[in-house]
A and B are shown apart, each in its own frame.
Chain A
Amino acid sequence: MNTNAVRAVSLKKVAISFGIGQRNQFDAVVETDLEVGEHEFVAIVGPTGCGKSTLLNAAAGLLAPASGSVEVFGTPLKGINRQAGYLFQQDAMMPWKTVEENVALGLEVAGTKKAEARASARQWLARVGLAAFADRYPLKLSGGQRKRVGLAQVLIRNPKLLLMDEPFGPLDAQTRLLMGDLLLKLWSEDRKAVMFVTHDLDEAIALADRIVIMSAGPRSRIIGNFTVPLPRPRDIAEIRHDPHFIGLHRDIWRALRDEVMKAYRDTPEGEQ
C-alpha cells in the first residue's frame, strides 16, 4: 500500500483489556496494527469471541484501548469518532420513534432543520426500499427491514467511515444476500472506508477489498491479510461460483481453520 495514501483508520499496537487488577484482567486484543484506506472496504474475520467487535468499538471511540494509538484520518481519536457511522448487530433504533424519526435523528441532533431532516430521511428510506414504511414503528418491522432502516439511519449523516458489526448476522440466508447487494450498491456511489466484522467468510470475500483474519481469543491479534482481487461491480449470489472466489476461499479458510478449531475447543459447552 502507498504510504502517502490517506488512512481512514490507523490502529497501531492496539491492546484492549477488560476488568481491573492482575487476576481479573482479560486481554481481548493485543498488538494489533490495522490500516484502512480512505475508500477501502475491509472485512475482519475470525472465530467467535476473538475480539472483532472490540476492535470495531475501539475505532468507533466507544472503547478506549489499554495501549497503542487509534488515528482517524490522521488525527488521534479522542472520545466518540465523529467521522464514523456504526451499524450494530443488535437492534439499535429508538423503538419509541417512527422509522422516519429514527432516520432523521442523526441530522436533527446535528442541528438540521426538522422539515429538511425529514425530507432527507424520506429520500433515504426510498433508497433502501422502505418509502412506504416511514410512519411505522421499528418493532413492527421484520429483521431485514430493520437493518435497512439502520443502514439509512447511519448513511444519512454521510459518515466518511462505516463500521459494521456483523450487521446481517441475525438475518436468514436470502435476506443476507439482498442486504449485501444493497450495501454494495449504496457503497459504490462514494466508496466510503468500511470496517466490516463478520464470521461468514463467503460474505467477507463477496463484499470486501481486503480481508483481515484474527486469531482465537483471548489475546487475539491479526494473523492474516488477504487482498480480494475480484472485479466490481459484483453480484453477490453469482460471485460464489467464480473460480477466483473458490481459490481465495480455500486459502483463507486454511489460515482460519486452526483458529476456529482452537476457539471451539477453548469455549466451554454452554457458550457455543
Chain B
Amino acid sequence: MRRSYLLALQVLVAVVVLVLWHLASSTHVFGNPKTISFFFANPIGVGQKIYTWFVSGSIWYHLWVTLLEALLAFVIGALGGIVFGFWFARKPLVAAVFDPYVKAANALPRVVLAPIFALWFGLGIWSKVALGITLVFFIVFFNVYQGVKEVSQTVLSNGRMLGMGERQLLRHVYLPSALSWVFSSLHTSVGFAVVGAVVGEYLGSSAGLGYLIQQAEGVFDVTGVFAGMFVLMAFVLIVDWLMTVVERRLLVWREA
C-alpha cells in the first residue's frame, strides 16, 4: 500500500470521528446537544481551549514539567534496572535469594504508592519521578537480566578465544547484548515513565498535564479534561516517534 494512501485513510478516521462528535454535540441528530456536550464537550470548544493554551503559552510550563518528570524517571529507572539486571544475571545466588521479593514488588499496583511518595518526597516533581522509576525500573531490569542471560555461548567463547578477559567481555559482549534488549523495550519503558508522571500529577501536584486534567475535572470542566487528554495524546505520540528514531539509530545492526 502506498504511504500517502495509508496516511489519507488514517486522517479520514480522525475526520469522521470529529464530524460525528461535532454533529452529536451541536445538532439534534443523536439527541439533545446540551446533554451530549455536557458529558462529552464539543470539538470546537476543545480546539479553542487547546489554541488558547498554546497561544497564551500557559501549556508549555505544564508540558515541560511532565516531560522533565518522565525523563528523570526514565533515566534513573533505566540506570537502576541496568545495574541490578547485570548484578542479578551475573550472580545466580543473588537472583535466587531475591527472586520472590522482586516478583512481589513488581506485582504491586504502583498507584497505591503515589500517596506514600507524596508523603515522602512532597508534592513537587520528585514524588512523580519516584512513581515513574518504580514502573521503568522493572521493565529495564527484566530486559537486562534476560539480555545478559541469553548472550550466545558461541559469541562468548569466541570473545574468550580472541583474548578477552572478564572486563572486556563485559564491555564488548554482555553490555551491548543487554543494551539491545533495553533499546527494544524503549517504547514500553518510556511510555511507563510518562504514565508514572501523569498519574502522580493527577493524584496531587501543582503543575503538569495530569494536574491540568485533574483541575478541570474538579470543576466539571469537561472541555478542559478533553483538551488535556488530547494534548497528552499528542505528547505521547511525539515521544513515541522520537523513540522510534532513536531505536532505529541504535539497533541498526539488527536483521532488517
Chain A interface (Cβ within 8 Å of chain B)?
Answer: 60, 62, 80-82, 84-86, 88, 90-98, 105-106, 109-110, 137-140, 153-154, 157
In the assembled complex, the Cα of A18 lies from the Cα of B60 at a distance in Å of 64
| The residue from B155, B168, B255, B256 contacting A93, defined by CB atoms under 8 A apart | B155
CB contact between A139 and one of B155, B159, B160, B253 (< 8 Å): that residue: B253
The contact of B162 among A90, A91, A109, A139, by CB within 8 Å, is: A109
List residues of chain A with CB within 8 A of the CB of B180: 96
Q: Identify A88's interface contact among B154, B176, B177, B256, CB under 8 A.
A: B154
User: Shortest beta-carbon distance, B55 to chain A, in Å?
Assistant: 46
A94 to B154, CA, bound (A): 10
B158 at the interface (CB under 8 A from A): yes
Instruction: Say whether B206 faces chain A, with CB atoms less than 8 Å apart.
Output: no
Q: How far is the CA of A60 from the CA of B161 in the complex (A)?
A: 8
Known: A60-B161, A96-B176, A97-B253. 4 other contacts (CB 8 A): A88-B154, A96-B177, A109-B172, A154-B161
Interface residues of B in 142-168 (CB under 8 A from A): 152, 154-155, 157-164, 168
What total count of A-B pairs have CB within 8 Å? 68
Please, how many angstroms separate the alpha-carbon atoms of A95 and B181 in the complex? 13
Closest to A101 in B: B172
Q: Find the residue from B180, B253, B256 having the highest chain A CB count within 10 A.
A: B253
| A contacts with B: majority SS | loop
B256 pairs with A94, CB closer than 8 A: no
- Assuming the contacts A105-B162, A106-B163, asked whether A96 and B155 have C-beta atoms less than 8 A apart, the reply is no
Given A94-B176, A137-B252, A139-B253, also A106-B157 (CB < 8 A): no
Q: In the complex, are the beta carbons of B256 and A140 less than 8 A apart?
A: yes
Which residues of chain B have C-beta atoms less than 8 A from A84's C-beta? 161
Closest chain-B Cβ to A62's Cβ sits at a distance in Å of 6
